[in-house]
């Protein structure tokens, strides 16, 4: 089964936003109304939304006392053990792995509209169509349909510099490590998404620490579903254990009353 991933290398990014528009184009999501910019630099819109699944961020940072402009990319991280999948009561969100593709995809026909996925996601990715009378959740699909056709995700295809590469997760991790090792003074020594939330399929490397790019960096290095899983897995045990305990206590109580005729019930 394929475990496919994207590697985002902000050192190579020129902020051209070919990826952002290619995503809009492939998925035919409408443009949002914007004004000026959302922060320093040219970022628009302000954040991911029901219509914006890929967002380039513009960050003015300091590296070695020198001013630099570094670009980031926000999108669904396609976690290996997605919290959204775990939280969804009807499995409208699903992580699929086929022979050639993998992604965390969304089946709108199953969706209840409960938005537990939005609460669960540590990266605050899934967005809701609040203004629709028949609202659904939307998010990046890692162009699962394109993958199944043997094509690159739209963002990866659009990127001219290889700031976005698509491939097998293991190979991309090796490539990320190679780039960091070959240019240790350029890269920040961390692969974002390698272990966050238990490991994701969108890996980022950069020349600055990731909080400077506006990424969430307080994410535990284990699948968020594990806490819930642990608790949930305990339930049958707890229930069974409770049943046993209660049953036994009933028996014990009964034994002390042996000899008494059963009471009549009204």
Partner 1 sequence: MEISRRSFLAAAGTTGTAALLGLLGLDLRPAAAYAQQTTPRRGKVYTTICPYCGVGCGAIVEVDDAGRIVNIEGDSDHPINLGAMCSKGASLYQLHDNPRRLRKVLHRKPGAGDWEELTWDEAIRRIAARVKQTRDENWISQDANGHTVNRTDAIACLGGAALDTEECYLLVKAMRALGLVYIEHQARI
Partner 2 sequence: MTNHWIDMVNTDVAMICGSNAAENHPIAARWLQKAKDNGTIILSCDPRYTRTTAFADYYCKMRSGTDIAFVGGIINYALQNDRIDREYVRHYTNATFVIRPEYDFNDGLFSGYNPDGDPPRYDSSKWGYELDESGVPRRDMTMEHPRCVFQLLKKHFARYDLETVCSVTGADPETYRKICDVYTSTWAPGRVGTWLYAMGTTQHTHGTQNIRTYVILQLLLGNVGKAGGGINALRGESNVQGSTDMALLFHILPGYLKTPAVGLETLQDYLNKYTPKSNDPLSANWWQNYPKYMVSLLKAFWGDHATAENDFCYSYLGKISGNLSYISLFEAMYAGKIKGLFCFGQNPAVAGPNANKERDALANLDWLVCVDLFESDTSVFWKRAGVDPGQIQTEVFLLPALASMEKEGSVVNSGRWAQWRYKAADGPGEALSDAAVITRLVLALKELYQQGGQFPDPIVNLSWDYNVDSHGEPDIHMVAAEYNGYYTSGPNRGRQVASFAKLAADGSTCSGNWLYCGSYIDYADGKGPELEDGPHITQVRGRKTINRMAKRFAEDPAGLPPGRCIGLNPDWSWCWPVNRRIIYNRASVDLHGNPWDPKRWVIRWNAEAGKWEGDVPDGGWPPMANPDGSENPKTKRPFIMRPEGVACLFAPSLADGPFPEHYEPLESPISNPFSSRQYNPVIKVWEPDKIGTPDEFPVVATTYRVCEHWQAGNMTRNTPWLVELVPDVFVEMSPILARELGGVRNGDWVIVTSKRGRIRARALVTNRFEPFFVGGRYVHQIGIPWHWGYNGLATGDSANLLTPHVGDANTMIPEYKAFLCRVEKEEVA
Taking CB under 8 A as the criterion, the residue among 41, 167, 209, 214 binding partner 2 is 41
Report the alpha-carbon distance of residue 4 to residue 37 in Å, rounded: 33
Taking CB under 8 A as the criterion, the residue among 1, 64, 65, 67 binding partner 2 is 67
Scanning the structure block, which residue is given the tokens 């949002």? 32
Question: How many binding residues for partner 2 (CB under 8 A)?
Answer: 32
What does 227 bind: partner 1, partner 2, none (CB cut-off 5 to 8 Å by kind)?
none
30 binds partner 2 (CB under 8 A): yes
15 binds partner 2 (CB under 8 A): yes
DSSP 179: H
Determine how many CB atoms are found less than 10 A away from the CB of residue 115: 17
Query: Between residues 154 and 219, which has the closer beta carbon with respect to partner 1?
Result: 154
What does 215 bind: partner 1, partner 2, none (CB cut-off 5 to 8 Å by kind)?
none
What does 35 bind: partner 2, partner 1, none (CB cut-off 5 to 8 Å by kind)?
partner 2
Determine how many CB atoms are found less than 10 A away from the CB of residue 175: 17
Taken as a whole, the chain contains a residue count of 266
What residues does 176 pair with on adjacent strands?
none
Question: Which residues make Cβ contacts (< 8 Å) with residue 223, sequence separation at least 6?
Answer: 79, 80, 81, 83, 197, 198, 199, 229
What does 32 bind: partner 1, partner 2, none (CB cut-off 5 to 8 Å by kind)?
partner 2
Part in contact with partner 2 (CB under 8 A); list of ranges 65-73, 98-106, 120-128, 216-224: 65-73
Report the alpha-carbon distance of residue 208 to residue 223 in Å, rounded: 25
Please give the residue ranges that form the binding site for partner 2 (CB under 8 A).
12, 14-18, 20-21, 24-25, 30-37, 40-42, 44-45, 60, 67-71, 160-162
């Amino acid at each position: 089964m394929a475990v496919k991933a994207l590697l985002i290398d902000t050192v190579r990014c020129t902020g051209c936003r070919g990826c952002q528009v290619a995503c809009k184009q492939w998925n035919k999501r409408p443009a949002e109304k914007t004004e000026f910019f959302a922060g320093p630099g040219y970022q628009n819109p302000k954040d991911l939304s029901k219509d914006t699944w890929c967002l380039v961020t513009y960050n003015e940072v300091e590296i070695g006392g020198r001013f630099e402009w570094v670009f980031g990319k926000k999108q669904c991280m396609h976690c290996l053990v997605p919290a959204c999948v775990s939280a969804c009561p009807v499995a409208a969100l699903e992580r699929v792995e086929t022979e050639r593709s993998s992604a965390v995809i969304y089946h709108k026909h199953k969706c209840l509209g409960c938005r537990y996925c939005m609460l669960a996601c540590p990266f605050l990715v899934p967005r809701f169509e609040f203004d629709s009378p028949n609202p659904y959740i939307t998010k990046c699909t890692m162009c699962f349909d394109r993958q199944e056709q043997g094509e690159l995700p739209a963002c990866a295809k659009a990127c001219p510099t290889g700031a976005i590469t698509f491939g097998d997760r293991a190979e991309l991790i090796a490539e990320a490590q190679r780039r960091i090792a070959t240019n240790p003074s350029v890269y920040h020594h961390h692969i974002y998404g390698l272990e966050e939330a238990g490991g994701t399929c969108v890996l980022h490397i950069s020349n600055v620490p990731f909080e400077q790019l506006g990424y969430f960096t307080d994410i535990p290095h284990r699948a968020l579903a594990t806490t819930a899983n642990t608790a949930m897995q305990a339930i049958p045990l707890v229930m069974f254990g409770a049943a046993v305990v209660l049953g036994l206590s009933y028996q014990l109580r009964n034994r002390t009353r042996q000899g008494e005729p059963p009471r009549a019930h009204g």
